[in-house]
Structure 1
Amino acid sequence: MVQKYQSPVRVYKHPFELVMAAYERRFPTCPLIPMFVDSDVVSEHKSEDGSTHRIERRCKLDVDAPRLLKRIAGVDFVYFIQKNTLNRRERTLHIESHNETFSNRVIIHELCCYSVHPDNEDWTCFEQSASLDIKSFFGFESTVEKIAMKQYASSIKKGKEIIDITARPELPVTPAIAIPAANAKDTHSNKDTTSLPGSLSEPLTGTPDDKLDADYIKRYLGDLTPLQESCLIRLRQWLQETHKGKIPKDEHILRFLRARDFNIDKAREILCQSLTWRKQHQVDYLLETWNSPQVLQDYYTGGWHHHDKDGRPLYILRLGHMDTKGLVRALGEESLLRHVLSINEEGLRRCEENTKVFGRPISCWTCLVDLEGLNMRHLWRPGVKALLRIIEVVEANYPETLGRLLILRAPRVFPVLWTLVSPFIDENTRKKFLIYAGNDYQGPGGLVDYIDKEIIPDFLGGECMCEVPEGGLVPKSLYRTPEELENEDIRLWTETIYQSASVFKGAPHELLIEIIDASSVITWDFDVCKGDIVFNIFHSKRAPQPPKKDTLGAHGITSPGGNNVQLIDKSWLLGQDYSMVESPLTCKEGESVQGSHVTRWPGFYILQWKFHSMPACATTNLPRVDDVLATLQVSSHKCKVMYYTEVLGSADFRGSMTSLESSHSGFSQLSAATTSSSQSQSSSMISR
């Protein structure tokens, strides 16, 4: 398996020419880098005007490997071929190197580039990428990869030390052997996330807007190992190349990587699932759109309260004083869930603010839970069920946001609640829990170790006034009937720009768009929540008959699983009454698809989502009502889509007019779990 390693851009505050002079001083050998033993020139060529210089060297390196491994391999040194191309006119140096030793067992390829900083011609950027393919190495494949990673990290550290000592640019470890397994790369980052806050006293070294700078990573994301940096950059680049929607911030990506121990494939899967969930439920706009009901403002006993000693935002929850039964009966599960999601979104925002204030990365918050007053009424089954669902949603979509959980004044009934809840909490999260019974929190090792004395809340024996509501019993006059709660749940999860639709075998879902201006742009964004579908776009000069809402006829079908509307009359002929304007697009379950179509004619356009196994000609032979009713009983013949469309004038269109075939988001690896869990656990808007 080929391993790829990529690093952030390193910026040296020295002119390109000085960096080149320092770089050349390492040849034929460099005392500052003991691993680089010697080098010989194989070939050399200079252009007539001296602007271009090409040189090929054979480099000798002493790899820090166990002596046993060297004896088995039969070598003390390894050799690399390095090809350098220096362009003085463009002020660039491109380095390409590969291993000569063991080339039939291990293939190492490294690319490096020195170039002038785009925003400051007196600075120099260094970019690096490498790949390692170990075909066989005497049974020591894993050992070789670990040695490579260790030496890569060591070489980077040594390079920084050289800069500090000599005030000259780092001399990169030529050929990638220093790092057989771990080199680096350039990465693309969101412009919003790479911009530097003006509040910093000293601006960080800058890089092109689409790159991740090494200093930026350290300042805003923390100290990462070279391998962790590589994982972040590679996942970021994958999202930029495949995801057509909003790219999450680097901090957000890093949380999912940490949650899966920097396994890119696993992190990518849960991140993609979460991005789909956020889009379906419009979570990005929650802080602007969600207004807490007055019942929550009065009886929800939680709120933000300063920060802990590490600069993390501090959230206080007086769970023992909360009437969980009353809140569920008055609001329903969806309102409580949405409120908790807004708390988490606020926590992310506060982490960003504290990162700027404290001058170091703050990526998570501390939660203090006071259990005084907890009793058997808190074990009310619907309340526990709501709590478990909230925990599950938060665990899936806000990993690594909890830095520490302080549980105070745990009563005797707490072990019962803990037994019910703990299986739903990630093991890494459980390790962050600190539980205090009675007044144990007041002594050594208690609150004062984590929270400054002056901000300990008054109800915990401190002097700081805390604005967290005291709670109390929710008046029964505020309770709602089960029917009212169900309707409220439906309303909350359908308040979105996205619509849901069911697609049945023999009954596609169709959407009519009337175009007046021939140069308009039809845009679409849809998720295939269940099953496989075929997406089509048709054009007609005459309008289809409006769907009938009172019958399950050929023009309108409504089922409990979502809306299904058919517009193309069974008597219409393709190529005569209407025409296809884009090639059919087959979409798999779990895919997110975005695209656009520039209209060539005015008239009526029909977007169609059709069951995948349906014959191509079936659009002209729609089934009878009895046939459609029969298909409703077969779950395997039912698909679900969430979609949003918009018509823009060509002058107002601000996206790339990509073809339908290229509009996949790349999330095809999403499994049915993406939606099935939310359907079974929350009766979300997808299933309504």
Structure 2
Amino acid sequence: MVTVSPEAVTQFQALMDQVDEPLKITFQNIHRGYPTETLVRFLKARDGNVSKAHKMLMDCLHWRVQNEIDKILSKPIVPTELYRAVRDSQLIGMSGYSREGLPVFAVGVGLSTFDKASVHCYVQSHIQINEYRDRVILPSASAKHGRPITTCVKVLDMTGLKLSALSQIKLLTIISTVDDLNYPEKTNTYYIVNVPYIFSACWKVVKPLLQERTRKKIQVLQGSGRDELLKIMDFESLPHFCRREDSGSSRSSENKNCFSLDHPFHQQLYNYIKQQSLISEPIQPVKQGSFHVDLPEPAAEGTEIAKTIESELHKIENRNGLTQSLDDV
């Protein structure tokens, strides 16, 4: 675990005090009143090195300004049918809070198909969820508990993971790179559940490639992970795929399915973005596909991991013959 010294934070703060607008404004949108905690996150991401952390944060601020990230929550993905298609194929949602007050985000890794919209729509949606988490969810949780809450918990469901996931690796690497470079250290713990053989095989070769601080955050749980997760959250906050009646399936009915556009979290998010769009652009509606974010070049670590996963999946495919027979495992 990286230990950040008070001296490093002081040096970092002195460097950031020299930043002029518009970078100062977007930095305020990042820290939301908790600048020290934000500096610590970037320092942890660069192993406590002030110079490297400063460069990372400055690159992040420039990226935000160049791509108008501060305005992204006023740029709805329209029409609604397109956004529903994104939600049906990019399975992510918020199921509740841990007992410590951390938001619990669920991700349907295995059943996400990413085949109903453009890459830009998926990246835009992912960044919007990040920004809504950081600007609305986390500040609200901090106010409720009277202390800074700046991270979340993620539960990753591997149900349905198939060799066809090979086609998603490039997009997933792009999204992961966006997070690594611009939203570092925002996840406290990753819980991985409903693990099939394919994941287990890949995990063995990918795990050694991860940085130590990342490895320590990842816990692979048995089965649906229900019993372990109930140690840190109430039943009502469990993602639907971790509940006994729903375990083994990332898709569920009613409002329990936090991936669905009909879930309260997504309804609140979508309504918030629509309201913000009316404030910023009350006359001209946003055209479909009008908002693009520059896609980053995957970092060396991310590229290596993606190549390793591809290689391992190909090995599995070759050992077992036809892809279709593996997809049924």
TM-score by length of 1: 0.33
2:47 matched residue in structure 1: 261
Kept after mapping to 2: 8 A contact 1:299/1:469 = no
Deviations 1:334-386 (A, max 9, x none): 22122111122122122222111111221100011111222222233xx1111
Q: Say which of 174, 182, 199 aligns to 1:397.
A: 182
SS of alignment partner, residue 105 of structure 2: strand
When you count strand as a share of all residues, which structure comes out higher? 1
2:148 matched residue in structure 1: 361
CA distance change for structure 1 residues 676 and 434 in 2, over 3 Å: closer, same or farther? closer
2: CA distance, partners of 1:285 / 1:461: 37
Partner amino acid, structure 1, of 2:46: R
Q: Greater RCO between the two (CA within 8 Å, min separation 6)?
A: 2
1:436 matched residue in structure 2: 221
Shift of 1:390: 1.3
SS of alignment partner, residue 295 of structure 1: helix
Question: 1:13-28, aligned counterparts within 5 Å?
Answer: none
Shift of 1:312: 0.6
User: Are 2:8 and 1:238 equivalent residues in the alignment?
Assistant: no
Unpaired stretches in structure 1, ≥5 consecutive residues: 1-224, 472-487, 496-674, 682-688
Shift of 1:236: 2.4
Kept after mapping to 1: 8 A contact 2:156/2:190 = yes
1: CA distance, partners of 2:19 / 2:240: 51
Deviations 1:252-273 (A, max 9, x none): 3231122223321111111111
When you count helix as a share of all residues, which structure comes out higher? 2
2:104 matched residue in structure 1: 314
Larger Rg: 1
SS of alignment partner, residue 106 of structure 2: strand
Kept after mapping to 2: 8 A contact 1:231/1:262 = yes
Q: Say which of 250, 259, 262 aligns to 1:469.
A: 259
Deviations 1:132-182 (A, max 9, x none): xxxxxxxxxxxxxxxxxxxxxxxxxxxxxxxxxxxxxxxxxxxxxxxxxxx
Most deviating of 242-251 and 416-425: 416-425
Kept after mapping to 2: 8 A contact 1:454/1:462 = no
2: CA distance, partners of 1:458 / 1:244: 44
Partner amino acid, structure 2, of 1:313: P
2:292 matched residue in structure 1: 493
1:335 matched residue in structure 2: 121
1: CA distance, partners of 2:215 / 2:172: 16
Between Structure 1 and Structure 2, how many residues are aligned?
Answer: 251
1:344 matched residue in structure 2: 130
1: CA distance, partners of 2:77 / 2:160: 28
Question: 1:638-657, aligned counterparts within 5 Å?
Answer: none
2: CA distance, partners of 1:399 / 1:287: 20
Partner amino acid, structure 2, of 1:359: G
CA distance change for structure 1 residues 267 and 390 in 2, over 3 Å: closer, same or farther? same
CA distance change for structure 1 residues 378 and 304 in 2, over 3 Å: closer, same or farther? same
Calculate the aligned-residue CA RMSD, in Å: 3.3
Partner amino acid, structure 2, of 1:246: L
User: Are 2:171 and 1:378 equivalent residues in the alignment?
Assistant: no
Shift of 1:279: 1.2
CA distance change for structure 1 residues 453 and 677 in 2, over 3 Å: closer, same or farther? closer
1: CA distance, partners of 2:128 / 2:169: 20
Shift of 1:399: 0.8
Partner amino acid, structure 2, of 1:315: F
Shift of 1:389: 1.7
1: CA distance, partners of 2:299 / 2:216: 30
2: CA distance, partners of 1:430 / 1:351: 24
User: Are 2:192 and 1:407 equivalent residues in the alignment?
Assistant: yes
Shift of 1:419: 6.3
SS of alignment partner, residue 48 of structure 2: coil
Shift of 1:421: 6.2
1: CA distance, partners of 2:193 / 2:299: 35
CA distance change for structure 1 residues 676 and 321 in 2, over 3 Å: closer, same or farther? closer
CA distance change for structure 1 residues 354 and 470 in 2, over 3 Å: closer, same or farther? closer
1: CA distance, partners of 2:132 / 2:212: 25
User: Are 2:237 and 1:450 equivalent residues in the alignment?
Assistant: no
Shift of 1:678: 7.2
TM-score by length of 2: 0.66
Partner amino acid, structure 1, of 2:190: L
Identity across matched positions, percent: 24
Deviations 1:23-54 (A, max 9, x none): xxxxxxxxxxxxxxxxxxxxxxxxxxxxxxxx
